[in-house]
Amino acid sequence: MSDRLLYVAVLLSVFGLLLLVFISTFFDLPYVRVGDVDSRFLEKNVHLKGVVSGVHQFKGGSILLSVTQDNSTIDVYLPYSIASTLNKTTVSGASVDLIGVVQLYDGKVEVVVDKQEDLVLK
């Protein structure tokens, strides 16, 4: 009888985890103001909106965007896989909506965008 109870418990646990993963795809991260992003957010996902105030392209093809909102600016790193899909001449001055992970680089907080679908330029 205890084996049967164990199987039911495992089955319910797996079903619950799958249900949570499915439901989580329907929830968006709340927006965080650029000026509020600091070391408290390290290794967490943030959802930002702003205007691209600067673009720096590295030799390897990756890009560092400066994103400004209400006189606050944060650096946003785009790896080559994402940067290569952008038209660099129209990026500066564009409105941006992005989701990324807050990381520390050279003692400075920046946001790293890992997926193309997490970056929308308007």
pTM above 0.85, yes or no: no
Residue ranges in the chain modelled with pLDDT below 50: none
Instruction: Give CA separation, 48 vs 12, 60, 119, in Å.
Output: 37, 26, 10
What is the per-residue pLDDT for 84? 93
Angle at 82 between CA 68 and CA 51, to 5 degrees: 15
Instruction: Catalogue the E-assigned strands of the chain.
Output: 45-57, 63-69, 72-78, 95-105, 108-112, 119-121
The arrangement of secondary structure in 34-121, i.e. its CATH architecture, is Beta Barrel (2.40)
